[in-house]
Chain A
């Protein structure tokens, strides 16, 4: 029998991080992600790891900075308002080319908002999440097994390209329970970190981790180097799922939990003879632009429907990727509310009729 356990999404992230070699977790509680911290609090002391509940989100992200600079795998997690607090630290991680993993289990906003699920931090995650010229690699799982696997992937990508990865999920996925096959899970690959602050032992020149540059020429060169790595990431790491798109006349675009609801909606319209398919971005940055451009330019494609738990954020990337070759309709809920399959069905039918 497979080595299966029943896990909450939040627990899967925590366990996967530990199995990927993360022994340094710094956090501060906030619903709906607190199980990550609770799990780390239970497990880390038993494996000689460090769990530290910081005095604030800002302290936690700066502890991640320190640990990452020392070359270890470090993680923090929070939910929407907590990620906003961490934004300064995230920018410093990017400016210092430090690999780390930040988890955002989104809740309704803006402001204190609410504790129910949301995707309203799409802009925050993909367009910045801090000041300056940088990107986070943003991974968006849509099930507990995938949360497990993506956590390991997030660490690998972070180390390989010296960037910070964000796992962007929502309260539904964080709280829901599904079976996870621990044996079938992805194995993490570690790389050497010769740049890390591990002590020279008098045998090498000191390494320097820093995000302050005394002259603009150096800063520009550093930023250009970083963007050359971003270009590699766009080329190598763009991920998406394609579902029933071959004959589709309406392309639904959705990520995370709404993509699951969209699949149920697609089954319903197909039963009525309406050909709909789904593109599910798995990486939100880099965004799967090429496949969307290709599908939108097909003659058979009538329109696209963007489903999101936000008031039209990802839709901007869909419109850009497709250069508005076809109409893009928005199916949005906000504030912690989740669309029913029927609401998505209505939008798909509207898209199909060209209304």
Chain B
């Protein structure tokens, strides 16, 4: 596995959730794990929402001091350079905001090329990424902006709070088809912990990425 894992994809595809869960899981086998919030687009729902959780898990958070404030700055922290330089660090990058957001990574691309693995997060339940054509468009847009090629796909099929095992199972063929069409392997399939015993994955769906900690419960979520 590469030293640096980058989660990229359409906004709302679940990159932040996956990056947080992946980083926390990594921390069990690595002493030195950092999660970098490289989202220069989204105003709300940022990695910073999970700061307490990450701290408790011993994951270092490299993020904008302005996330979730009124200062709308497309900000990459200077500390992000450490991801490239510190070879003892096992790093996860949450790359937000479509191809526009992926531009932020371009600055680091030459140094990342031989030590990072960029994964395309795919949620076919999102309106603009429901088919192979849309996903392909998204893929090339991000690769061009980031200056890196995708190593594979993370299938993150979900309908938010309404996700069932059926949601994931019903979309497996579509994601497999998209992967074949794009000539990318499915490296992982994200499965919420409470659904994991109801879903059967095959070899072509890659490893299971267990999602244990989903988005924090919002005060406006209806009980």
Contacts and interface: CB of A to CB of B under 8 A. Distances in A.
A338 B219 CA distance: 9
Contacts of A1: 166, 170
Contact of B223 (A11, A175, A267): A267
B70 A6 contact: no
Interface in A145-192: 171-172, 175-179
B220 A257 contact: yes
Contacts of A179: 125, 159-162
B162 A4 contact: yes
Interface string B210-223: 00000000111111
A188 B72 CA distance: 37
A229 interface: no
Contacts of A277: none
A5 B125 contact: yes
Interface in B39-56: 42-45
A260 B125 contact: no
B159 A6 contact: yes
A267 B223 CA distance: 9
Given A4-B159, A171-B44, A175-B45, A114 B70 contact: yes
A32 B42 CA distance: 9
A260 B170 contact: no
Interface string A308-338: 0000000000000000000000000000101
Interface in B126-171: 126-128, 130, 158-162, 166, 170
Interface residues of A, number: 38
B72 A31 contact: yes
B219 A6 contact: no
Given A6-B125, A6-B160, A177 B12 contact: yes
A15 B127 contact: yes
A263 B12 contact: no
A32 B219 contact: no
Contacts of A8: 12
Contact of B72 (A108, A115, A172): A115
| Range for the number of chain B residues in contact with chain A | 20 to 34
Contacts of A5: 125-127, 130, 159
Contact of B219 (A116, A336, A341): A341
Given A32-B44, A116-B70, A175-B43, A4 B127 contact: no
A68 B223 CA distance: 42
Interface string A4-43: 1111100100010000000000000001100100010011
B70 A108 contact: yes
Contacts of A96: none
B135 to A, nearest CB: 14
B220 A260 contact: yes
Nearest to A267: B223
A40 to B, nearest CB: 12
Nearest to A338: B219
Contact of B70 (A4, A35, A336): A336
A191 B123 CA distance: 37
22 contacts: A4-B125, A5-B126, A5-B127, A6-B126, A6-B158, A6-B160, A8-B12, A11-B12, A15-B127, A31-B72, A32-B43, A115-B43, A171-B44, A172-B220, A177-B12, A178-B161, A178-B162, A260-B220, A260-B221, A261-B219, A261-B220, A264-B219
Given A179-B161, A260-B221, A263-B222, 15 more contacts: A4-B159, A5-B125, A6-B158, A6-B159, A11-B128, A31-B72, A32-B44, A35-B11, A108-B70, A115-B70, A115-B72, A175-B44, A179-B160, A179-B162, A260-B220
Q: Kindly list the 5 A-B residue pairs having the minimum CB-CB distance in the complex, ordered from nearest.
A: A114-B70, A179-B159, A179-B162, A260-B220, A175-B44
